[in-house]
Structure 1
Amino acid sequence: MPRYEFKEGSSSKFWEITLSGNSFTARWGRIGTDGQEKTQTFGSPAEAQKEHDKLVREKEKKGYVLAGKGEDDDGDGGGGDEPASNPELEAAILKDPDNVDAYLVYSDWLQGQGDPRGELIAIQHAAAQASGTEASDLKRKATAHIKKYQTLLLGELADGVKSKEISLEWHLGFIRSARLAKQDYDSEFDVVEAVGALLKHPSARFIRGLTVGMTDFEENHYSRVADAIVEVGGLKTLQELFLGDFQYPDETEISWTYLHDISGALKLLPDLRKLRLRGGELQLGDVDLPELREFTVETGGLPLGAVKSIANAKWPKLERLEVWFGSDNYGAEGGVEDIQPILDGKGLPNLKQLGLRNSEFADALAQALPGAKVLPQLEKLDISMGTLTTEGARALADKAAAFAHLKQLDVTENILTDEGQSLLSKAIPQANVGNQREYEEDYRYAAVGE
């Protein structure tokens, strides 16, 4: 039970409050006595939490401070050097990460242990319930709280946050999402080491999103990031993963970036909903992601092994699939025959958006698409950035009825002539045909290779 005390002049009082579901119990009196006790019950846990937070704020305004912390305590590392842990309460959150009540029960327990995460949960929950000026004030209070207790809440990650090479989003007392990236060539920030520290830190035990930008300006690799995920035994709550969040060609070229083998990490992310990968030399192995809704791979050269991994992946809830194939000159392999399972809609009952982009077999794809079994279920089809010619445009236009149901057909950034653009525009009005690339007759290439 969190205990607050007020000592001034002849006054020496205490006040305690324990939140439990839709009720809380308060106890108060002179220090050294048992005091009085009262329990109040509300219509919902949210109402109880709101009134709880209101009373805490009132006591703090009157000068009450959490027992064990003086008024001038800067809180740096406050609550002890080691964060509190309750496996049973943490398991309840892991079982249902969207259950706010589980966080609130944990908040009360943490406050009783003097762990600043407990109060942070309460502050952020109150902010989510509030609006206008009150919500803004509470958000500022949460930011100040994180700064005050950064030693315990961030540990060695604090320097990366200060240099802005680590960006964090907090939710109910814990890190909800994080982005880590080297800022420039001269930076000494070790991205991979920081990822490992983040994933092992108690503040990230319920992390939902992880984004990794540049790991190095000489050799930009992501396999060690995947190894860090394996090292911690996976992330049960992670829902979004983006490896390769860099600007190309400003920071580096796609073909100078290496994803390598990330199959081990993917096997340890059971709740992953969104996966985005950018770079070359990708190895996926056997993909089995039962909760995945979106998959994107952006590359200048997709190896045949990765093509087959994607084509035969098990992701029954997938709604959006985007694949860049790339150029033969940069390692792209495979063709229409290798993605036939996708065209057949095999294992893709929920797919609504399909992007088969940046390919050098776009004309062959145009021939195959009208008869693709997956086509009737699609809302959007994207075959942009490839080598689609007037011949391919004619193949699509001749079978225009097959595409009539689509909300959008994207063929931008191909190499269509004016004739090809006109053919498609007339036959398939919802086709986006603009922004075509210039090319030489004997040199046709995907939009992104290097």
Structure 2
Amino acid sequence: MPRYEFTEGSSSKFWEITLEGTTLTKRWGRIGSDGQEKVEEFDSKAEAKKAYEAQIHEKERKGYTLAEGSDGDGEEATAESAVNPDLEAAILAKPDDVKGYLAYAAWLEGEGDPRAELIRIQHSALDAPAATATAARKKAEKFIEEHADELLGESLAEAVSDESLKLEWHLGFIREARVGQVDYDSVADIPELLGELLAHPSARFLSRLTIGMASFDGENEYDDTLEVLAKAKPAPPLRSLFIGDFEFPDETEISWTQVGDLKPLYKVYPQLQELRVRGGEVDFGKIDLPELRSFTVETGGLHLGAVKDIVKAKWPKLESLEIWFGQENYGAGGGVKDLKPLLDAEGVPALRKLGLRNAEFTDDLCAALPKSKILAQLQELDLSMGTMSDEGARTLAENAKAFGHLKSLDVTQNFLTKEGQKAVAKVAQAVASGNQRTPYDEESRYAAVGE
């Protein structure tokens, strides 16, 4: 128990404090006496830690100093998870095979690691009747909470408690994670938190990662976060990555966010199947993600270089591509002519869903798509949030035969009148055309999202 003392004039006092989980234990009195003791309970480890630090700070402000030989860290040491590289390699080779996890559990049990029990509990929920599965999941949640120090360590457990880190566990390991500041009062260092997560044995098989707000203070920038992600050793087998999971404009404007350079991530995470990016100032470079099935970029101003990087990429397995172009006032560049490789179906043999959204050239797209090579292979087409006028709708209607095979067409949040909506209503098997916007005049149409 850390011991602080205050000696001045006739005063000779001590004060001790210990933090264990959600419990604060304090003892104080005159030096040489047993003193008094008080125990405080808190609702979460984060609240207890905050009170612990605040009370120490208050005593230090009053002149108390750490006694010689006293340990200033009130936290108990936590056990480190046992690791077996060979068994990990077997799981990484077949991540969906439960046999690898059960073999790991057998080894971990011999090491006295509680993760073994968690693997078995979660395994019991797989392919079980609903009632059995529900009971097992509740048991696993309780087990994780009770063994948070062993399974996560102090820092990550506190981050879970204050919700800057949200986790989903699978067979004893973290399968999905979301990191991000919670609100304007948050002090979580997101790059540091992400680094701790990626280095932890529990995240060895992390498959899905979502990054929320990096900072509510000033511009929301991801440069440092991406650097941590690119330098992870060993890198987790990410299949899904979402950078920029924030609400705009409530948390920040989309164009106030700087995503940064994604190029270093391609070699580190070649098995990515889903990549979603939200924000501005994004640098794709030469995209090399051969396993990708879904790619989405949401921005208020996609610069011409980024447009060209996307349409030049080779996507042998890509099934869904969604691009938000944005407004010229916020850096958007390019037009239909810059999309020629994509419209000619170059490098996208598996593409079935295409979103060309939030564009200021939607009417031009309506004219170009009927003659494009890509249209025949599509099942879903999304032209929403753009500047489509009734003229664009009529163009689609006049070429209805070219679009008739589409299972769905989305033209919502454009500038169609009732007449325009009626014209496009039967162009595809299902057409969404509601939530239209009204321009001040013919020259005032604009993409839905800019700032």
Give the TM-score normalised by the residue count of structure 2: 0.80
Task: Give the aligned residue type for 2:243.
Answer: L
8 Å CA contact 1:236–1:268 kept in 2: the answer is no
Residue matched to 1:239: 239
Give how far 1:303 is off: 1.1
Give how far 1:398 is off: 1.5
Task: Give the aligned residue type for 1:295.
Answer: F
Root-mean-square deviation (CA), in Å? 1.7
Task: Give the aligned residue type for 1:187.
Answer: S
* 1:136 partner SS: helix
8 Å CA contact 1:320–1:352 kept in 2: the answer is yes
Q: How does 1:293-332 map to 2 (within 5 A)?
A: 293-332=293-332
Cα distance in 2, alignment partners of residues 426 and 136 from structure 1: 45
Residue matched to 2:92: 94
Residue matched to 1:203: 202
Cα distance in 1, alignment partners of residues 406 and 298 from structure 2: 24
8 Å CA contact 1:236–1:271 kept in 2: the answer is no
CA offsets 1:41-89 (integer angstroms, 9 cap, x no match):
xxxxxxxxxxxxxxxxxxxxxxxxxxxxxxxxxxx989x7222111111
* 1:127 partner SS: coil
Give how far 1:227 is off: 0.8
Distance 1:429-1:199 versus aligned 2 partners, 3 A rule: closer
Task: State the percentage of identical aligned residues.
Answer: 55
Give how far 1:129 is off: 3.9
Residue matched to 2:33: none
Residue matched to 1:442: 443
Which stretch of structure 1 is more off in the superposition, 376-385 or 423-432?
423-432
Distance 1:181-1:386 versus aligned 2 partners, 3 A rule: same
Structure 1 outlier segments of 4+, above 6 Å: none
Which stretch of structure 1 is more off in the superposition, 134-143 or 146-155?
134-143
Q: What is the aligned counterpart of 1:125 among 123, 126, 132?
A: 123
Give how far 1:236 is off: 4.7
* 1:322 partner SS: strand
Residue matched to 2:147: 149
8 Å CA contact 2:273–2:291 kept in 1: the answer is yes
Cα distance in 1, alignment partners of residues 429 and 123 from structure 2: 48
Cα distance in 2, alignment partners of residues 169 and 427 from structure 1: 42
CA offsets 1:108-167 (integer angstroms, 9 cap, x no match):
001111111111111110122432433233222212221222112111201110112211
Q: How does 1:166-205 map to 2 (within 5 A)?
A: 166-205=165-204
Paired residue total: 374
Which stretch of structure 1 is more off in the superposition, 165-174 or 146-155?
146-155
Cα distance in 1, alignment partners of residues 235 and 321 from structure 2: 23
Task: Give the aligned residue type for 2:443.
Answer: D
Cα distance in 2, alignment partners of residues 103 and 77 from structure 1: 30
Cα distance in 2, alignment partners of residues 249 and 402 from structure 1: 38
Unaligned runs of 5+ in 2: 1-74
Q: What is the aligned counterpart of 2:81 among 83, 100, 110?
A: 83
Which stretch of structure 1 is more off in the superposition, 346-355 or 220-229?
220-229
Task: Give the aligned residue type for 1:204.
Answer: A
8 Å CA contact 1:359–1:385 kept in 2: the answer is yes
Cα distance in 2, alignment partners of residues 286 and 192 from structure 1: 25
Residue matched to 2:39: none
Cα distance in 1, alignment partners of residues 372 and 76 from structure 2: 60
Which stretch of structure 1 is more off in the superposition, 420-429 or 245-254?
420-429
Residue matched to 2:370: 370
Residue matched to 1:16: none
Residue matched to 2:35: none
CA offsets 1:5-64 (integer angstroms, 9 cap, x no match):
xxxxxxxxxxxxxxxxxxxxxxxxxxxxxxxxxxxxxxxxxxxxxxxxxxxxxxxxxxxx
8 Å CA contact 2:174–2:205 kept in 1: the answer is yes
Cα distance in 1, alignment partners of residues 360 and 202 from structure 2: 46
* 2:209 partner SS: strand
